[in-house]
Amino acid sequence: MYILGIETSCDETAASVVTRDRHGKPHLLSNVVLSQIDEHSEFGGVVPEIAARAHLSAIDHIIKRALDKASLDLSKINGIGVTAGPGLVGGLMVGLMTAKALSASRGIPYLGVNHLEGHALTARLADDVSYPYLLLLVSGGHSQIVRVDGLGDYTRLATTIDDAVGEAFDKTAKLLGLEFPGGPNVEKAAKTGDASRFKFPMPLRGQETLNMSFSGLKTAIRTQAQKLVPLRDQDIADLCASMQKTVAEILANRCERAMAQCDGIDTLVVAGGVASNTEIRTRLDALCEQNNYKLIAPPLKLCTDNAAMIAWAALERFERGETSDMNLAPRSRWPLDGSTESVIGSGRKGAKV
């Protein structure tokens, strides 16, 4: 099957084509992503209305580019996967209505995909990983540790009780006067910083819970920065390096404790935009080596939001005979593991994430 994927949940307009060959091996035929950084940079964050308009202006062109790069046209597409949530409703509506229109006009089945499931299954597209595995999902809106036993079989072991880790990076960048998007610019500044200069707290460390917390870390960085005003470039670099090292240690600590609870698993997959951070990857790699685990970190282009992961998640579900009908509505909140109890806070995108 050739599957077209469409992703418009936040501030990237993306389309992709994936397939699986007769031997079951995944193939990524195209992956086109248009970022909206320029549209949102002056506001220091994503503006939902601006994002939705930008998706609407670009979506047709992006889909055509993805098809052209795959050397296919719509007559060869067997199914369409589209992000139906969670995310910004305006953007989700653009992608979902586009998928429905193509489905109705071309007679192609379509499927609404959970954006988090896309991240969860990225390693199966990029590295052909087998079930089961442990997943660390870290992004601007989500911080979770999930046991993945099969398609749709997800058990959330931990989440954040307040800010997501990506949000902590973004707000730290804004506090220190770094440009949007925050995460990559914090990492860039940290390269010339002294990670041992500041010792920041690691909230919840040592407690029984596997959950994470990042609001206290963010407050500690603000307090330290205020003591140093006016900030020199080296101060900013040292703050970023120390913050990044602290986050890596928090994530490694929580993953190590989750490993101890997961019999029969020897693979840790890290996914989401924050998974592109080199310091975090390096720390997790060391952790896995110490615990006889294999670390799978997708290519950088598949860590941030993209349509390849959506197309792949749809392909796996199409193979089970699943499709969506025309009544499917976008969902701003859509937990990956709907059976797990809500946690107060749970990141900026709401409960049960």
Q: What percent of the chain has pLDDT over 90?
A: 84
Contact 146, 135 (CB under 8 A): yes
Q: Quick one: pLDDT band at residue 352, thresholds 50, 70, 90?
A: very low
Average pLDDT, the chain: 93
Phi, psi dihedral angles at 283 (to 5 degrees): -65, -40
**pLDDT confidence of residue 311:** 98
pLDDT, tens digit, for every residue of 108-137?
999 999 999 999 999 999 999 999 999 999
**pLDDT confidence of residue 343:** 63
Q: What is the dihedral of CA 166, 170, 173, 177, to 10 degrees?
A: 180
pLDDT, tens digit, for every residue of 67-120?
999 999 999 999 999 999 999 999 999 999 999 999 999 999 999 999 999 999
Contact 249, 117 (CB under 8 A): no
Contact 120, 275 (CB under 8 A): no
* 3-class SS of residue 48: helix
pTM: 0.92
Q: Up-side HSE of residue 184: CA atoms within 13 Å toward CB? A: 9
Domains of the chain: 2-122+302-318 (3.30.420.40), 130-297 (3.30.420.40)
pLDDT, tens digit, for every residue of 154-196?
999 999 999 999 999 999 999 999 988 889 999 999 999 999 9
